[in-house]
Amino acid sequence: MCIDRKIFHRVITNHEIRNNPLFISNNKLLISLVSNRLYPIDTDLYCLNQFISKKKIKVSQLRNLMSDTILQTRIMEAVSWLIFKGEMTTGGLFKAAAILIQ
């Protein structure tokens, strides 16, 4: 843990990374979506939090529920930012997101 910035981190070895191709794929996707902007769009994060704070939800369900208000690419970007910032746990969620984007 970085005490100054209150950031939790974990060192992952090369062996752990190479033995899990899904981990590599998901992280490439996460990094590509997060690197689109310096900061996430606050209104997208707010709308997304309205849905995910009530119950556990799949990315596909989230995209269907929010598609009227936010573009699907921005939904995925907001999900990526929440995962990146540690405000959302994946629990298989991001695996579904990777499949839906491709």
Instruction: Place 90 in a pLDDT band, splitting at 50, 70 and 90.
Output: low
Is the pLDDT at 22 greater than 70, yes or no?
yes
Contact 26, 95 (CB under 8 A): yes
Of the candidates 79, 98, 92, which has an alpha carbon nearest to the alpha carbon of residue 28? 98
Instruction: Place 1 in a pLDDT band, splitting at 50, 70 and 90.
Output: low
Which residue type does 67 have? S
Is the pLDDT at 30 greater than 80, yes or no?
yes
Containing H/E element for 34?
A: helix 21-34
| pLDDT tens readout for residues 45-55 | 888 888 777 77
* Backbone phi, psi, residue 2, to 5°: -90, 110
Token duo for residue 58:
């799949």
Chain length of the chain: 102
Mean pLDDT, rounded, for 32-41: 86
Q: What percent of the chain has pLDDT over 90?
A: 0
Q: What percent of the chain has pLDDT over 70?
A: 84
